[in-house]
Amino acid sequence: MSGPGAEKGRAEGGTAGGTTGGTTGVGSGADAPADGSQEPAPARRANAADPDGVLKEPGPGAGAAPGRAPGAAARTTGSPDVPGAGPRVPGSPDAPGAPDAGPGARGAVGEGSGDGAAERPDGPLGAGPEPAENTGGATGTDAARPVPGGDTAAAEPAPGSGTAAAQPAPGSGTEVAGPPPGDGTEAFGSPPGSGADAPPPADGVAERRLHPVTPLRRAWAPIAVLVGWAVHDPDQAQRQLTRLTTTHLVIGVAVLIPAAALYGFLTWWFTHYSVTDTELRIRTGLLFRRTAHIRLERIQAIDVTQPLLARVAGVAKLKLDVIGTGKKDELAFLGADEARALRAELLARAAGFAPETAHEVGEAPARQLLRVPPGVLAVSLLLTGATWGTLLAAAVVPTLLWLATHNLWTVLATALPLVGAAGANSAGRFVAEYDWTVAESPDGLRIDRGLLDRVHETVPPGRVQTVRIVEPLLWRRRRWVRVELDVAGSSNSVLLPVAPREIAESVVARVLPGVTVPTGPELSRPPRRAARCRPVWWRGHGLAVTDAVFAVRHGLLRRSLALVPHAKVQSVRLTQGPWRRALRLADVTVDTGANKTVSARLRDADEAARLLRSQAERSRTGRRDAPPDRWMA
């Protein structure tokens, strides 16, 4: 054991420190992301007004005219103010009796003067020619339309704006600064502050609602508040109930039920979601609005869950694991088919498919690898020491308390939590892990499980930081193991609840390609003097370092073998307390992107120092050579 004076520290950035006392740390790469991802941060998208990333040169007549206000666009070549210009178009703002520009006018008049510029309420301004006279009696400013074959360039009127397009005379030489055909940006040379860089307000993304059954789920919130108050202060709740008459109860129920239904309906009505080219948007809130912008490249995994009542109603819940969030964002509830289709679309877009084809990709095909029979699962739970330990405690502790106190409430207060823990370790795990199926697909390993609540999970590729193969004492005769995972940014922690060792190792090879699980003889034990620190238990420790993984074993009754790929190691450190320093022993610990650690304990001090330097170099090399983490790679 480490003495009370043990010192700890870490040196990042790949610099190895001394190994005499305290803690020495070596980083595996300064540019490694904290979440364990191999993929660099994506570049910023091009400006919406300049999709090609190159600012275009202004067209003729688009610049500022000499002697005019700064920022004003150039007057058209047909303007009377320009030498040699032709006659003014009737109906222009400068002409006598010209009508005022109506609110439906699109863009700015080609003269660029501040007097003739009308702001379009739903988007950026666009430069156009001087408006012609409104001969049709329609309200609003008329915008000029180019004549086929002429040299007139004009902005098209907004659809549905009620503006009539007047055509300038052929050969008049009128040229208007407007956007090129097919370009949705504002005209070149528009005045500063005119909204040329503002994104269009309507991006064409349709918002969708949740399933109509969702209000029934949310209508319970007001009732839950009352129940929570009654549980929090039962004496006060009982006094209030004794004062109520039958009439009061009827009126209360008649008010509470419609109020709960109205609350459920309004929360459903004000909840929308939409999928854009780069993100998933979720708008919620009745009084306080909240909009969640979930970047598609930040999505780790997407799970589809169906609680028991949801399975009866034919709906499902979509849960998303996102990098940097402590809890999962969810969409509850969607139709079962709609939830699977949305999951497939999000995964396809995250994989880089074009938005117009992502919804056609569909769910990637899967090939079943393993299914755990219910009988094997039940036997494995009966052979687990934690199950028998909690059952024994639930039987013995309440009996002893009854003999000592003869107080029924004390016995019940102790027995109920123990019985609940025993049920969670046996019956609860059986219900949750029932019909466990593992399948392989291009978007990762898929897991389907659950007796009452069906869960459809995905182990994302490249995000697995650590694989643990657990072997309880009573399972060794049958050669059964349990496989657990540490996944960056995800709560998925179990890959296989129980399986034969050979099958489990083949599944591990799917998660960590090219990794061979070390066997007992390949794991080196600590030196015999380690028995002075941990008598007997020192024999359960072992270490093996291969070209692919850093493997550590610990435990005698419940063996656990942890496999950490070198590319997933974020930092390495050496820890040595006073007692272990006297025995020339040290611990080497690696940190992973899942905020977990794996330690090789009780190693020889010289061996630990060499391991510190070599593991840091392996981690840098592994991270540099590792392929990028991508969906459907």
Which of 324, 350, 367 is the last residue before a domain boundary?
367
Q: Are strands 127-128 and 480-487 parallel, antiparallel or unpaired?
A: unpaired
Strand, helix or coil at 217?
helix
Domain of 527: which CATH number? Answer: 2.30.29.30
- The reply to whether 588 falls in a domain is yes
Task: Identify whether the C-beta of residue 25 lies closer than 8 Å to the C-beta of residue 589.
Answer: no
Mean pLDDT of 486-506: 88
Report the C-alpha gap between 32 and 16 in whole angstroms.
Answer: 18
Residue 611 lies in a domain: yes
Cα–Cα nearest to 141, from 126, 152, 151, 124: 126
Residue 199 lies in a domain: no
Residue 545, C-beta contacts closer than 8 angstroms, at least 6 positions apart:
551, 611, 614, 615, 618
Same structural domain for residues 230 and 127? no
- 177 with 243, same domain: the answer is no
For the beta carbon of residue 316, count every other beta carbon within 10 angstroms: 27
Domain co-membership, 267 together with 347: yes
The arithmetic mean of pLDDT across residues 279-301, rounded, is 86
> For residue 357, which phi and psi values (nearest 5 degrees)?
-110, -5
Average pLDDT taken over every residue of the chain:
72
Do 125 and 264 sit in the same domain of this protein?
no
User: Number of structural domains, the chain?
Assistant: 3
The tens digit of pLDDT for each residue in 427-482 reads 889 999 999 999 998 878 899 999 999 999 888 767 899 999 999 999 999 999 99
- Does some domain include residue 73? no
Instruction: Answer whether residue 591 is part of any domain.
Output: yes
- Same-domain status, 472 and 348: no
Residues 146 and 288 in one domain: no
Model pLDDT, residue 52: 44
Residues in the chain: 633
Question: Exposure pattern of 72-101 as b/e (b: 16+ CB <10 Å)?
Answer: bbbbbbbbeeeeebbebbebbbeeeebeeb
How many other CB atoms are there within 10 angstroms of residue 184's CB atom? 12
Range of the domain at 558: 461-633
* Three-state DSSP state, 479: coil
Band of the pLDDT at 220, cuts 50, 70, 90?
A: confident
Calpha distance 439→103 (Å, rounded): 60
Instruction: Give yes or no: residues 501 and 355 share one domain.
Output: no
Residue in 353, 290, 298, 343 with CA at minimum distance from that of residue 322: 298
d(CA 448, CA 212): 26
Q: What's the farthest any 2 CA atoms get from each other in the chain?
A: 115
Q: Kindly state the tokens that stand for 412.
A: 């019940």
Indicate whether 580 and 493 sit together in one domain.
yes
Give the pLDDT band (50/70/90) at residue 599. Answer: very high
Domain termination residue (choose one: 367, 386, 415): 367
pLDDT at 387: 80
Residue 207 falls inside a structural domain: no
- Same structural domain for residues 516 and 586? yes
Please check whether residue 179 lies inside any domain of the structure: yes
Question: In this structure, how many other beta carbons lie within 10 angstroms of the beta carbon of residue 354?
Answer: 11
Share of the chain above pLDDT 70, in %: 65
Place of tokens 């040169």: 57
Residue 47 in any domain: the answer is no
Tokens of 170: 């052929």
CATH number at residue 240: 2.30.29
* 587 shares its domain with 498: yes
Is the preceding peptide bond at 270 cis, omega within 30 degrees of 0?
no
Whether residue 185 is found in the same domain as residue 250: no
Q: What is the pLDDT of residue 87?
A: 42
Please say which residue of 299, 332, 367 terminates a domain.
367
Identify whether residues 473 and 590 lie together within a single domain. Answer: yes
Using alpha carbons, list the distances in angstroms from residue 230 to 106, 226, 227, 461, 585.
Answer: 61, 6, 5, 47, 58
The most confident of the ranges 102-111, 291-300, 472-481 is 472-481
In three state form, how does the secondary structure of 13-67 look?
CCCCCCCCCEEEEEECCCCCCCCCCCCCCCCCCCCCCCCCCCCCCCCCCCCCCCC
